[in-house]
Amino acid sequence: MAMAKKRIAVIGGGSSGLCTIKCCLDDGLEPTCFERSEDIGGLWRFKENPEEGRASIYKSVIINTSKEMMCFSDFPIPDDFPNYMHNSKIMKYFRMYADHFDLLKYIRFKTTVVSVTKRPDFSSTGQWDIVTESEGKQESAVFDGVMVCSGHHTNAHLPLDSFPGIEKFKGRYSHSRDYKNPQEFSGKRVIVIGIGNSGGDLAVELSHEADQVFLSTRRGAWVLNRVAEQGYPVDIVLSTRFKAFFKRMLTTSMVNQLAENRVNARFNHAHYGLRPQHRIMSQHPTINDDLPNRIISGKVLVKPNIREFTETGAIFEDGTREEDIDAVFFATGYSFSFPFLQDCVKVVENQVSLYKFIFPPHLEKPTLAFIGLIQPLGAIMPLAELQSRLATQVFKGLIRLPTESDMMADITQKKDEMSKRYVKSQRYTIQVDYIPYMDEVACQAGVKPKLLSLFLMDPKLAVEVFSGPCTPYQYRLRGPGKWDGARKAILTQRERIIKPLKTRVLDDYTGALVPYYLQIFLIVALIAVTFAYFPWSFFPL
């Protein structure tokens, strides 16, 4: 008799939820996805008014991770889609993905998960009781596994306690989550607090309508461009295995210096009042091509932190004051929590203890996984997908997690590394680097590309895998979930990057890169020289 499929509850139908449903199906599990709103897409589905329990974006949001780096690994984004997509285009891609893999029928919309509790026999079965609520009615059901895909950009972090006098400020103040478009700020004087990607985007957009925008930052930021060398997307240029390998030969200080020189070559961060005390690798990148233009035009004035608010304005930490302020936006980030899990998983100031940012280490059975609870230097979607692929293998019992103490040791090590590298802020609790984290999870899932054998078997592909952008298709070349289209997707990725730009085709255009056999020669030479002079760089720190 065939074994009954394991029933898996997927909480949330955003990008993480969608790929999780698909991974469950690929691995012969039976998913039921609960989505509190009426549609898929999570954060990326724009609505004029913020909804409770769902992340909220402004109308103009354009993603800052490029299409080849953010796509799901077996479903490339159409070649004519722009490299950096508007939220409406992103939704289009998610809908294509859901349709192609027929995912919608597994989703129960307008259904909120209100509690997830261990069943009394959890230590032997690993099962969960899940209570959901839909149109005022509660229902309970038993599941063999739970995958939490509820996002971490929903709850506004509004640190009013740090801003004395805010209670007497007579203008309007709100969180960036509530910002939708700039028209109503025409002719106004607006302060934006925080210089993450929300703060940068809001300051720039508001400055086109407002009379004056002040961008207040407590520590400044290094600002990167979306458009990098030769007009390629910055993540395409930076996220290569070759660069990751090269980085290992350098000290952290050297890497910082090179990166800071690069961004300062575009505009001197000290002249623009943005230079922070911290090094560039110690922050989450603020990506904004327009901010320096708005600063040099005087439409955005960079200010230090606010010491206190007055009834009509603000006094900054340098003693300067700005009066007649109409509105203040706190672009001060988010905090996350999982109220439906009650005490099963504790989150304190965005600190949570999860093995590989996925599995709670203390459970008697590994039947709970968090998907997308990471803040990568790069796109989140392929990482969430890879997390799901690992989790479904674990749920099926094909991969065993280490002991609780080994998992705790790994968690502690990661926390230590994070706190050494990043400035102290509740922003930096779930930070991961794109290639190292993908490789780490892929290694466990048995899908990390084997470069050496690839060089021997398929040198053309190997060159692109090593020196080209580390696109998600690399993790479909082998192992469970191998996809036959992966090789082609990798070898055609540069065409998909250029295609949407070719709206005026030039006769003499040649996209010719260095021939691949010459690239092989250069790579072999580089490895030989490196091995001779920097042998330690072959071993991860």
Binding site for ligand FAD (CB under 6 A): 11-17, 34-37, 42-44, 53-55, 57, 61, 63-65, 70, 112-113, 149-151, 153, 198, 340, 372, 379-381
**Minimum distance from residue 84 beta carbon to ligand FAD (Å):** 8
> Binding ligand NAP by CB under 6 A: which of 20, 64, 83, 335?
64
- Which listed option, ligand NAP, ligand FAD, none, makes contact with residue 473 (CB within 5 to 8 Å by class)? none
Closer to ligand NAP by CB, 67 or 153: give it: 153
CA geometry: angle 328, 333, 336, nearest 5 deg: 135
Closer to ligand FAD by CB, 371 or 491: give it: 371
Q: By the 8 A CB rule, do 128 and 368 touch?
A: yes
**Minimum distance from residue 361 beta carbon to ligand NAP (Å):** 25
**Minimum distance from residue 186 beta carbon to ligand NAP (Å):** 22
Contact between 92 and ligand NAP by CB under 6 A: the answer reads no
With contacts defined by CB under 6 A, how many residues of the chain interact with ligand NAP? 27
Angle between helices 15-26 and 381-395 (to 10 degrees): 40
Query: 268: how many CB neighbours lie within 10 A of its CB?
Result: 12
**Minimum distance from residue 453 beta carbon to ligand NAP (Å):** 36
What are the distances in angstroms from CA 394 to CA 174, 355, 438, 480? 42, 13, 17, 12
Closer to ligand FAD by CB, 150 or 207: give it: 150
What are the distances in angstroms from CA 282 to CA 172, 196, 335? 33, 13, 20
Contact between 205 and ligand NAP by CB under 6 A: the answer reads no
Closer to ligand FAD by CB, 176 or 444: give it: 176
**Minimum distance from residue 312 beta carbon to ligand FAD (Å):** 30
Spatial distance between the Cα atoms of 202 and 440, rounded to a whole number of angstroms: 35
Helix (H, G, I), strand (E, B) or coil at 290: coil
Contact between 21 and ligand NAP by CB under 6 A: the answer reads no
Helix (H, G, I), strand (E, B) or coil at 249: coil
Q: How many helices (H) and strands (E) does the chain have?
A: 17, 22
Long-range (24+ apart) CB contacts under 8 A made by 187-190 are 187/211, 188/326, 188/327, 189/213, 189/214, 189/322, 189/324, 189/325, 189/326, 190/214, 190/325, 190/326, 190/327, 190/328, 190/329
One symbol per residue from 123 to 162: x for binding ligand NAP (CB under 6 A), - otherwise; what is it? ------------------------------x-----x--x
> Binding ligand NAP by CB under 6 A: which of 54, 269, 356, 427?
427
**Minimum distance from residue 61 beta carbon to ligand FAD (Å):** 5
State which amino acid sits at residue 514.
Answer: V
User: Segment 307-346, which members bind ligand NAP (CB under 6 A)?
Assistant: 331-334
Q: By the 8 A CB rule, do 12 and 384 touch?
A: no
**Minimum distance from residue 340 beta carbon to ligand FAD (Å):** 5
CB proximity list for 64: less than 8 A, separation 6 or greater: 84, 197, 226, 287
State which amino acid sits at residue 217.
Answer: T
CB proximity list for 12: less than 8 A, separation 6 or greater: 33, 34, 35, 36, 42, 148, 149, 150, 151
Q: By the 8 A CB rule, do 454 and 461 touch?
A: yes
Q: By the 8 A CB rule, do 171 and 312 touch?
A: yes
What are the distances in angstroms from CA 422 to CA 224, 348, 530? 17, 18, 29
Contact between 195 and ligand NAP by CB under 6 A: the answer reads yes
Contact between 219 and ligand NAP by CB under 6 A: the answer reads yes
**Minimum distance from residue 47 beta carbon to ligand NAP (Å):** 16
Contact between 412 and ligand NAP by CB under 6 A: the answer reads no
**Minimum distance from residue 345 beta carbon to ligand FAD (Å):** 14
Closer to ligand NAP by CB, 216 or 474: give it: 216
Contact between 174 and ligand NAP by CB under 6 A: the answer reads no
> Binding ligand NAP by CB under 6 A: which of 413, 419, 425, 453?
425
Give the binding site for ligand NAP (CB under 6 A): 61-64, 153, 159, 162, 176, 193-199, 201, 218-219, 284, 305, 331-334, 375, 425, 427
